[in-house]
Amino acid sequence: MKKNILFFTLVFFIVQLHAQTELNIMTFNIRYNNPGDSLDAWPHRKDKVASQVLFHHAHLIGIQEALHDQVQDLQARLPRYKFTGVGRADGKEKGEYAAIFYDTARLQLLQSATFWLAEKTDVPGLKGWDAAIERVVTWAKFRDRSTKKIFYHFNTHFDHIGRIARRESGSLLLQKVQSIAAGAPAIITGDFNAHPDDEPIRVIVDKSNPLHLTDSKEIAATPHYGPTGTFNAFRSREINDQPIDYIFIKNAVEVLQHATLSQSWQGRFSSDHFPVFAAIRIK
Report whether 83 contacts 102 (CB < 8 A). yes
Name the nearest CA neighbour of 191 among 70, 273, 266, 254: 273
Report whether 187 contacts 249 (CB < 8 A). yes
The per-residue pLDDT string of the chain (283 residues; one tens digit each, 9 = 90 and over) reads: 555 555 444 434 444 445 579 999 999 999 999 999 999 999 999 999 999 999 999 999 999 999 999 999 999 999 999 999 999 999 999 999 999 999 999 999 999 999 999 999 999 999 999 999 999 999 999 999 999 999 999 999 999 999 999 999 999 999 999 999 999 999 999 999 999 999 999 999 999 999 999 999 999 999 999 999 999 999 999 999 999 999 999 999 999 999 999 999 999 999 999 999 999 999 9
Amino acid at 38: S
Q: What is the pTM of this model?
A: 0.93
Task: Concatenate the DSSP letters of all residues of the chain into one string.
Answer: -HHHHHHHHHHHHHHHHHHHHEEEEEEEE-----GGGGGGSGGGTHHHHHHHHHHTT-SEEEEESB-HHHHHHHHHH-TTEEEE--BTTTSSSSS-B--EEEETTTEEEEEEEEEESSSSTTSTTPPPTT-SS--EEEEEEEEETTT--EEEEEEEE--SS-HHHHHHHHHHHHHHHHHHHTTS-EEEEEE-S--TTSHHHHHHH-TTSTT--EEGGGG-SS--BS-S--B-TTSSS-SSS---EEEEEESSEEEEEEEE----BTTB-SSSB--EEEEEEE-
pLDDT, residue 19, reads 55
CA–CA gap between residue 108 and residue 171 (Å, rounded): 29
Report whether 101 contacts 60 (CB < 8 A). yes
Report whether 104 contacts 165 (CB < 8 A). no
The residue count for the chain:
283
Greatest Cα-to-Cα distance within the chain, rounded to the nearest angstrom:
71
